[in-house]
Amino acid sequence: MNLKSLVTGGAGFIGSHVVDQLIANGHEVIILDDLSGGVIDNINPAAIFCKGSITDVTLVNELFKEYNFDYVYHLAAYAAEGLSHFIRKFNYENNLIGSINLINVAVNFNVKCFVFTSSIAVYGQNELPYHEGQFPNPEDPYGIAKFAVEMDLKNAKSMFGLNSIIFRPHNVFGARQNIGDKYRNVVGIFMNQLLKNQPLSVFGDGNQSRAFTAIDDVAPFIANAVNIDAAYNKVFNIGSDNPITIIELIAALNKITGINAQPNFLEAREEVEHAYANHNQFNDQFEPGSVTPFSKALSEMWEWVQKNGAKESREFDNIEILKELPSAWRK
C-alpha cells in the first residue's frame, strides 16, 4: 500500500516541488491549500487537491479521518516576514494556530512524522552565521510564530511521542514562486519589475545580504527527510552558504537578463541587515553533494517567469496596524 502524505501549502512554491518529489517517491499525496498564495497551475495532477484552510478544524479532522496520513508536510503559511508586524493577528491565526490545529490531529491520528518548514527568521539578532545550537531570538511576528510551532512540536514529542523534522530554509527562489506578492520574495519582485520595465524597489541602501537558495537544493531534501531516521526530532538550517547583497543580486539579474535595470531606493524598513546560516548539521545528515550554481538557478527561474508573464501585485486587504508601515506598502 502507498504511503499517504498530506502536504499543506502544496499549491505554493516550495510545497508544489515537495509534492513532485513525493509523487516520484510513490506516495499518495493529498494537498490542502486555500490558494491564498498558491495557484492551481502549480498542482501536480497526480495529487488529490482539497481547497481549504488549515484554520478549518472540521475540515482538517475530516481529511485525517478519510486518509489516515502516514506523514504530514506542513508548508502552508503566509510568509511575508516584513509585513507580519502589521498583520499580527492574521499572522498568528494563520501561521501559529493553523499549525497547532494540524499538530493536534497529527497526534490524535498517530502520524509517523510531522515535517515542518520553519525559517531562519527564528534567529533574529544572533551571531552570524546562524547555527542550530543558538537560542532563537525572532524579531518579528512571523519568526515568533515559527519558533512557537517549533517549541510546540518539541512538546508534542515529549508529551505524545509525535516525531517531527524541522527545516529552517532561507530565501529560496525558482520556478512557481509567486512573483505578484509585493511584500515578499525579492527575486520574484525584481523579475516582475524587470518584465514591466520598472526600476527595482530596494528598501534602504541595498547592502542587506541574504543567501539566496535554488529550489532544487531544498524541496527534494524536505520530501526525502522522512526516510532518514537520524533526522527525526532534529532541526536543520537548509540553504545556500553564500550571502550576497541586494545590490549584487541586481547586478546578477542584469547579467542574466541582459537588461540594465536601475535600483529605486526606498526608505529602509525594519529588518535584519545580514542573514545567513551554517549548514554543517544538514550536510552531515543529508549529504547533499553538488549545489546548483546561482546563475544557473536564476536563469532557469527567469525563463519560467518570461513564459508565465508579469503579475499584478496585490494589496494585502486587511492591514491591522498602519503605524510605521513603509510608505511603499501604503495604498
- Cα-flanking dihedrals φ and ψ of residue 215, to 5°? -55, -35
Neighbours of 114 (CB within 10 A): 26
Of 32-40, 132-140, 295-303, 308-316: span binding ligand NAD (CB under 6 A): 32-40
The Cα–Cα gap between 49 and 103 comes to: 20
* Residue 77 touching ligand NAD (CB under 6 A): yes
The Cα–Cα gap between 241 and 153 comes to: 27
* Residue 14 touching ligand NAD (CB under 6 A): yes
Q: State the nearest-atom distance from the C-beta of 314 to ligand NAD, in Å.
A: 12
Nearer to ligand NAD among residue 265 and residue 310 (C-beta): 310
The Cα–Cα gap between 126 and 170 comes to: 15
Q: Which three cell numbers stand for residue 141?
A: 511576528
Judged by CB under 6 A, which of 5, 84, 91, 94 binds ligand NAD? 94
Residue numbers 147-176 binding ligand NAD by CB under 6 A: 169-172
Inter-residue contact 211 to 242 (CB < 8 Å): yes
The Cα–Cα gap between 101 and 189 comes to: 32
Q: Which three cell numbers stand for residue 320?
A: 491591522
* Residue 11 touching ligand NAD (CB under 6 A): yes
Of 6-14, 63-71, 252-260, 317-325: span binding ligand NAD (CB under 6 A): 6-14
The Cα–Cα gap between 55 and 67 comes to: 19
Residue numbers 113-152 binding ligand NAD by CB under 6 A: 117, 119
Q: State the nearest-atom distance from the C-beta of 324 to ligand NAD, in Å.
A: 23
Q: State the nearest-atom distance from the C-beta of 127 to ligand NAD, in Å.
A: 20
Is 71 one of the catalytic residues?
A: no
* Residue 220 touching ligand NAD (CB under 6 A): no
> What distances in angstroms separate CA 281 from CA 89, 120, 316, 327, one per listed residue?
34, 14, 37, 40
The Cα–Cα gap between 263 and 250 comes to: 8
Q: State the nearest-atom distance from the C-beta of 10 to ligand NAD, in Å.
A: 7
Judged by CB under 6 A, which of 7, 22, 47, 76 binds ligand NAD? 76
Residue with cell 505554493: 12
* Residue 91 touching ligand NAD (CB under 6 A): no
List of residues contacting ligand NAD (CB under 6 A): 8-9, 11-15, 32-38, 53-55, 75-79, 94, 98, 117, 119, 169-172, 178
What positions carry a catalytic annotation? 142
